[in-house]
A and B are shown apart, each in its own frame.
Chain A
């Protein structure tokens, strides 16, 4: 199943590189929602998420000629998105404006004046489990979101995060354990 998916993506990449622009639009449409949702869950700010989303796609376009088909396109794409997110957080950390803020507190990017932003946060408040995901340590959260939102196999997550498969499985294991704890503390056993 995973192989067919990545094979189709590789064909679209080849078609785009051979001059068919529509192939790339198809690829973009396929990953638009999962990728944007993945980024948005880190920043909780649509504007920032859109910036990072744009940077991700520009990097993808620039990197396409060097894209190696050894891994799947989705793992490559989410890997770039992950790096762009980390770069953005680092840049914000470096800037004086956000110096006093804690980078681990992801709600810092919430814009209280934005209507869509408010709606997003209100929705989130209704969803306890999603907030529990947001409270996970960064490395565990990335694995959980890549698996659930990006629908990436664990082997591809390992490739995207550039770490061993056992590390990814360990993070997932701890993430599920932490989620269980949070849920048990607040709602009782699932």
Chain B
């Protein structure tokens, strides 16, 4: 009948696997326990004897080379497996890329059509603008001629003639003094507007 402490600690003590506290405890125990000391001695002697007598064999050269060759082959296949895994991992990404490309193409087509349509509208607008420009410049020409007329006094004379006829007054001076300032203001506004003078 063995000491239960030997079953628990004996072989772990011999293999150096006990913690510091366990080792301290078991050392104290074997000082007292003759049975444990005997078991330890027998176990250590037997294991040491076997260890000394055991011959570590090597596999044959051919076997060794075959293993190393297989290891390399397996290594290659191992890397092939990794490549396959990467490929399979990329498969969904490929789908995503395809889908994204399709979306991009659709978006490009949409905006392309929009652009062409917009260009057409722009052409129409440009034509309208040009037409407006023509009108504007013809208006400017008309205004210029009107201003020339103002400058030359033709319009003023016409105006005074109309004023005189409508008022029926003989007082030329009052008519002229009243209207002169109004007309001068109008002329100045016109000059400022069109010529910045």
Contacts and interface: CB of A to CB of B under 8 A. Distances in A.
Interface string B166-185: 00000000000000000000
B128 interface: no
Interface-centre pick from A54, A144, A153, A155 (highest chain B CB count, 10 A): A54
B75 interface: yes
B58 A36 contact: yes
Given A147-B47, A169-B12, A190-B42, A130 B63 contact: no
A52 B12 CA distance: 30
Contacts of A46: 59-60
Given A54-B66, A154-B17, A37 B74 contact: no
A153 B17 contact: yes
Given A37-B56, A57-B70, 5 more contacts: A28-B68, A32-B64, A129-B49, A172-B11, A180-B46
A21 B53 contact: no
Interface string A115-132: 000001001000101100
User: What's the interface size class on B, roughly?
Assistant: 35 or more
Interface string B36-66: 0000001101110111011111111001101
Contacts of A88: none
Contact of A176 (B12, B17, B46): B46
Chain B contact residues: helix, strand, loop or mixed: helix
Nearest to B62: A50
Nearest to B50: A148
Interface residues of A, number: 45
Given A24-B71, A54-B70, A154-B11, A33 B57 contact: yes
A39 to B, nearest CB: 9
Contacts, number: 105
B152 interface: no
B58 A57 contact: no
Given A1-B16, A50-B60, A190-B45, A123 B55 contact: yes
A70 B148 CA distance: 105
Contacts of B51: 148
Contact of B63 (A54, A65, A149, A153): A54
B105 interface: no
B67 interface: yes
Nearest to B71: A61
Interface string A169-190: 1101100100110010000001
Contacts of A24: 71, 75
A53 interface: yes
